[in-house]
Amino acid sequence: MSFTPAPWPRKLRSQEWFGGTSKDAIYHRSWMKNQGLPADLFDGRPVIGICNTWSELTPCNAHLRDLAERVKFGIYEAGGLPVEFPVFSPSESTLRPTAMMYRNLCAMDVEEAVRGKCIDGVVLLAGCDKTTPALLMGAASVDLPAIVVSGGPMLNGHFRGERVGSGTHLWRFSEAVRAGEMTEAEFVEAEASMSRSPGSCNTMGTASTMASMAEALGMALSGNAAIPAVDSRRRVMAHLTGRRIVDMVKDDLKPSDIMTREAFENAIRTNAAIGGSTNAVIHLLAIAGRVGIDLTLEDWDRCGRDVPTIVNLMPSGQHLMEEFFYAGGLPVVIKRLGEAGLLHREALTVSGGAIWDEVKEVQNWNEDVILPVERALAKSGGIAVLKGNLAPLGAVLKPSAATPALMQHRGRAVVFEDIDDYKARINDEDLDIDESCVMVLRNCGPRGYPGMAEVGNMGLPPKVLRKGITDMVRISDARMSGTAYGTVVLHTSPEAARGGPLAVVRSGDMIELDVAARRLHLDISDEELAARLAAWTPQVQAPASGYASLYHERVMGPETGADFDFLVGCRGNAVGKESH
């Protein structure tokens, strides 16, 4: 930690718009005053943007306008001027073809809005899966003082006496229906019980994971990740965040000061400890790219290997985010990492101090939720990064969500050309498949789907489910919902649509998975593989126009975060030329 606050008072960036008596300054102030703002609010105090992903079409973020008001209280109290603005809001649950295709669009919107507007710092209001990484990516590329406040998770779901987790129970109930253990009417009845309050998914899915990543990176106030959306303390967190950003602007405490390599290593280890989503791999790689940190898949494997999963939350465990909050939340986990020598204690946070100082006094109030190491869900909770002739650039698997007996497996490939092919054939009783097979799904990567859909945890065939089997080895170039589980190899790279080896697997080939050896192998000769690759022709056509064509052309592989190649790096916050 080596941060020296900037001298205060000094002239801020916003004064380039609002300072003085020039025609331009009067133009800028006059139009802002049509909102009823007194003249002294333009006197050189910090102007704070509140970047809001509120949208009624992003239901997980539909309460963020309320939180924005609380942020404003804090900003005014601390002597700043708050100005709320909307950005494109990619919703996991309603956006097609996939929210992931629009993460980069949201990040571009954030970057250009933050840079182009008359602000000195920004509060990032996020919740649903893609909104947190997108806002961090955009803010990192501008590098003005920035702080995250999350929308918080939904309250626990309940259905017929059972605790129901967002997403996790959707997959469970869906498979129960296909196995004939649940009626469709019951499935529909369960629907409302999964989402009974404002907020993001209440499991340790991608939204809760990314809120935790923001906190572990040091980009949110300590304790931010787990407070339920409707808990009054969520409003307090927003209020305090508003106060804090004003001081961050005065100190000139920027994302590049906070998001260092040490911070990313802390986040990777935190992800292992919480049993976080595989999606965090892609998002952290992309965020790191924006601040010029050369984070790699190897860092994920190296940093996560020795970290046990101690947070007993679905999908890996039993509880939900509400219990995690009552147990003490993420600060308890970070403290545990610090005590185990697995934390860069001096890493700087938005508080202006070291992360260790934020957590060293906290207590664990429930050892069934945040487990002692002896009862860890997985000894090695990190994301396993696999390599081999089937994944030369890497693939990932989440050991804590996988079946131990399948972690070393050799099986016959059953190949699905794309998700439509899978849907068309999976329920066919004549499909030549049993539980020893390896299900292979391709053309679902960033370019292939497009957008790298969360379809990697493809459901098992009914005839296997009816035997009581709940897991098989599955391999794809897709992603998996953070709420899902199974022995699922994801992000296989290069993806099939770019001509990666996944494109030339044939049904009947033998595939070997060895998680301990980090190996994913297609059991054919090098000559045979080379001949098949030489004969391969692209199956996925580039879209002719629009955002989809830009995405197809410029998106990079998941091994570097699936960002656009032209968005990597920090472009700073220099103000453009005056237009009047």
**Cβ-based nearer residue to ligand FES, 200 or 316:** 200
499 within 8 A of 209, measured Cβ to Cβ: no
Q: What is the DSSP letter of 573?
A: -
Among 51, 60, 108, 134, binds ligand FES (CB under 6 A): 60
Q: Which of 429, 252, 275 has the alpha carbon at shortest distance from 350?
A: 252
**Cβ-based nearer residue to ligand FES, 133 or 500:** 133
Shortest distance, position 578 Cβ to ligand FES, whole Å = 40
Binding segment toward ligand FES, per CB under 6 A, in 78-86, 199-207, 320-328, 463-471: 199-207
**Cβ-based nearer residue to ligand FES, 141 or 277:** 277
Q: At what angle do helices 131-142 and 99-116 cross, to 10 degrees?
A: 30
Distance (Å) of CA 22 to CA 15, 33, 34, 578? 12, 16, 19, 12
**Cβ-based nearer residue to ligand FES, 207 or 396:** 207
Which distant-in-sequence residues (6+ apart) come within 8 Å of 36 by Cβ?
A: none
Total residues binding ligand FES (CB under 6 A): 10
Q: Is 93 in the site for ligand FES (CB under 6 A)?
A: yes
Dist. CA 313–CA 324, nearest whole Å = 8
CA atoms within 13 A on the CB side of 359: 30
Q: Is 201 in the site for ligand FES (CB under 6 A)?
A: yes
**Cβ-based nearer residue to ligand FES, 129 or 563:** 129
Shortest distance, position 214 Cβ to ligand FES, whole Å = 14
- What sign does the CA torsion over 156, 160, 161, 162 have? negative
Q: Per residue, what are the HEC states of 104-149?
A: HHHHHHHHHHHHHCCCCEEEEEECCCCHHHHHHHHHHHHCCCEEEE
Binding segment toward ligand FES, per CB under 6 A, in 184-192, 198-206, 529-537, 566-574: 198-206
Shortest distance, position 213 Cβ to ligand FES, whole Å = 14
Q: Do β-strands 384-388 and 391-397 pair in parallel, antiparallel, or remain unpaired?
A: antiparallel
**Cβ-based nearer residue to ligand FES, 128 or 455:** 128
Q: How many helices (H) and strands (E) does the chain have?
A: 20, 14
In one-letter notation, the amino acid at residue 118 is C
Shortest distance, position 519 Cβ to ligand FES, whole Å = 33
As a whole number of angstroms, the longest Cα–Cα distance in the chain is 79
Q: Both tokens of residue 233?
A: 């303390």
Across the beta sheet with 146-150, what order do the strands follow? 81-86, 47-52, 121-126, 146-150
Shortest distance, position 126 Cβ to ligand FES, whole Å = 10
Binding segment toward ligand FES, per CB under 6 A, in 201-209, 272-280, 382-390, 540-548: 201-209
Dist. CA 549–CA 565, nearest whole Å = 14
Binding mask 99-138 for ligand FES (x = CB under 6 A): -----------------------------xx---------
**Cβ-based nearer residue to ligand FES, 206 or 270:** 206
**Cβ-based nearer residue to ligand FES, 132 or 487:** 132
Among 49, 165, 205, 382, binds ligand FES (CB under 6 A): 205
Residues 207-266 interacting with ligand FES (rule: CB under 6 A): 207
Binding segment toward ligand FES, per CB under 6 A, in 197-205, 272-280, 421-429, 567-575: 197-205
**Cβ-based nearer residue to ligand FES, 59 or 289:** 59
Instruction: Give exposure, 381-405, as e/b (b: 16+ Cβ within 10 Å).
Output: bbbbbbbbebbebbbbbbbbbbbee
Among 132, 200, 277, 309, binds ligand FES (CB under 6 A): 200
Question: Rule CB under 6 A: which residues touch ligand FES?
Answer: 60, 92-93, 128-129, 166, 200-201, 205, 207
